[in-house]
Amino acid sequence: MSVRVVIGAQWGDEGKGKIVDLLSNKARFVVRYQGGANAGHTLKFDDKKVVLHLIPSGIFNGDAHCVIGNGVVIDPIALVKEIKGVEELGFSLEGRFFISQTAHVILPYHKLLDQLKEKRRGGDAIGTTGRGIGPAYVSKVSRVGIRMVDLLDKDILRKKIDQNIKDINFALKNLYKEKTLSVDALMDEMDEAINTLSPYICNTTDMLHKALEKGESVLLEGAQGCLLDVDHGTYPYVTSSSPTSGGACTGSGVPPTALTHIMGITKAYCTRVGNGPFPTELDNEKGEELRQKGFEFGATTGRPRRCGWLDLVALKYACRINGINEITLTKMDVMDGFEEIQVCTSYKIDGEETTVFPLSLDEIEKIEPVYTSLSGWDKDITGMTKWDELPENAKEYIYFIEEYLGVKLTIISTGPKRTETIVR
């Protein structure tokens, strides 16, 4: 039995979708365990480019059963659109796609509240995508959330929406000075999605436990990245869920004792979308070069990503709190042509040097990165599939990362396509 968790080891956008797609042909189940439709996983295969937001990336490779776990918050309307897109590409979801009955629902009022709250914050905005993720998690922990199982009984659903909307309309009218919402309008807006999704809703936790008992392989797929974790990230500039390996268990129902592999995904450099601290950010021509060469624009929003050198202090922190025992290095090809590559190996905070990632926002914002310089390479490595093909300096870059982290880099991505990969 193999149970592998695939985790973003930075601030998200590390290329998890490609790696899950690559690994899924050997998995019986691929499970998305947290987050919402704000996360876009971009896949390239057969000269097609596909962006998935909720459906696990394994839907396109092999015959794995794809599950949206209980830790995900689901926008039903967005999910139906995504299902139609997958079917239009010629892939059937029948008998392969399942939705946890205890996953929570993003309703239209969550998206409206998300956008209004960000607007009200002004210069202190978190930088959310406005897709209702945070407010849906607030409803969940406030114990007023609506779950996918509630969609199976429209009378129960209407009653729960009616209860919630009274407080929401009070806030819309008195705080935000916006028009109030109607239960009838919300139910009408949701009707097609409810009818489409109902056949997929089931007890996925029981399904996964039966798979574990049979010794079948399971791949747990996270969204965003470790440094955006609500507990372990750069709070408050974080997501509203737990992208870490702990979140993989709570968001799927798979017990910690079942996990066999924790794979961290990291780019050969760093990026971040939205607001918040970013110690190695390059607000100069080097940063722009990384952005353009790496096509660093959000898969969901199109927002340009902030770019910087690889931060090994932050990456080692991610390895520790997740128990990462294997690493995939993506976008190695983007580093082609740099005469010198900088890697952050320690921080200075108030004049004191440290290799410990701080947890206080005040300290994080004071970080002065200390870099180690490595020689670059001028050979185009795009599409390489064998370790021996890599230039010596590219190998040295990988060895340096491995030695610092004490973790093996098992997969090197040399391009966006499934085939552009070195497996060591």
**Catalytic residue ranges:** 13, 41
Taking the C-alpha atoms of residue 400 and residue 190, their distance in angstroms, rounded to an integer, is: 52
DSSP letter string, 71-117: TBEE-HHHHHHHHHHHHHTT---TTTEEEETTSEEPPHHHHHHHHHH
Question: Cα angle at 160 between 114 and 33, to 5 degrees?
Answer: 55
Q: How far apart are CA 380 and CA 284, in angstroms?
A: 24
For the chain, the straight-line distance linking the first and the last C-alpha, in angstroms and rounded, comes to 21
User: Percent helix, strand and coil across the chain, each rounded to 5?
Assistant: 40, 20, 40
The letter for the amino acid at 388 is: D
User: Could you tell me which of 11, 4, 6 has the C-alpha nearest to residue 225?
Assistant: 11
**Cβ pair 402, 396 in contact under 8 A:** no
Please check whether residue 14 is in contact with residue 8, taking contact to mean a CB–CB distance below 8 angstroms: yes
8 Å CB contact between 327 and 316: no
